Structure 1
Amino acid sequence: MIYGIYLIIMEIEIFYMLPWQRNNNKWFPDWIYYDIPVTEIRKLINAIDNEQTVFNYPPIISEKLRKLVVLTNEEEQNNKLEKQIEQTKDEFTKQNVELKQHIKEELTKQNVELKQQMERIMKYIGIEQDNENEEEQDNKEQDNKEEQDNELEQIEQTKEELPRQNVSLKQQMDKLSQQMENIMELLKKN
């Protein structure tokens, strides 16, 4: 639309000129060249794209000019982003491996404790009591019952603690995976 207005004004001005004036290439060249540094062009294009400049009519920037000016800058940014992505991937894989090792260690410790407690319980159940003294038998039975009750309580406590610890470890893993996804999305946006 703006270009059309300029053409109309140009035609009117050319209409009132003499033929030798109209055909003068110094006055009306086919191409007009401007000498401007690339950094200035980048600044202007960024200002226009971010609407930080005020014009009566919006300027038209060709795609060829955008490609010529922005190519070098985009390559540098892409290289930086690729390096950042690789660094974050390495960090997250290290954290992931450490968490897996920690979880395995905790689970093996808990399994060993449970096995020991089960062996104790099995020993207490399998012990034959002497019939020499009834009082000693009663005392031993009471002691065994108390120890078995204690062992059973410990087993129940460890059974209750295992799911809690597993849930907390799963939550930590979920948080890490969510952070990884957020970083990947941010990097994709950039």
Structure 2
Amino acid sequence: MNLFIGILSNLLGDNRDNTIAYLKLKKEIFEKIELFYLSSLQKRNYKWFPCTFYYSVHVNELRKFISNINSDDWKESTKPILTKIMKVMKDEKQESGTDKIQKIYEKQEKIYKRQKLEAAKIQKTLEIVMKKLEIQFSDKDED
């Protein structure tokens, strides 16, 4: 079987579209081989063959996939329904890099201003303490 997979991969080459086609074909072949060796009782086990698969996807890849589905170039027989996917995409706001940098810059400015105010307060309290100390030392010197 490994020899078959190796020959199949050499035939398809390194192109991205060919890679996707290779992976689909590989999946179908594995599926047929595995189902051939299973008994009928094992084939009906829903824990082994679930109807729904869950996986995580990067948002940009999902956007590309949705635009591919919405375009006229969709090559499958039926288009998938995108209601839940579109709802998720609308809920999650995609921020650009400049927006993120701008927010970080604004946070840093707020922190800097807060620290500057605290430093001014500390400076004032130090001046008050120094004046009191000078008064106390001058009173002791006079005595």
Answer whether TM exceeds 0.5 for this pair: no
TM-score (norm 2): 0.40
Larger Rg: 1
TM-score (norm 1): 0.31
Higher relative contact order (CA 8 A, sep 6+): 1
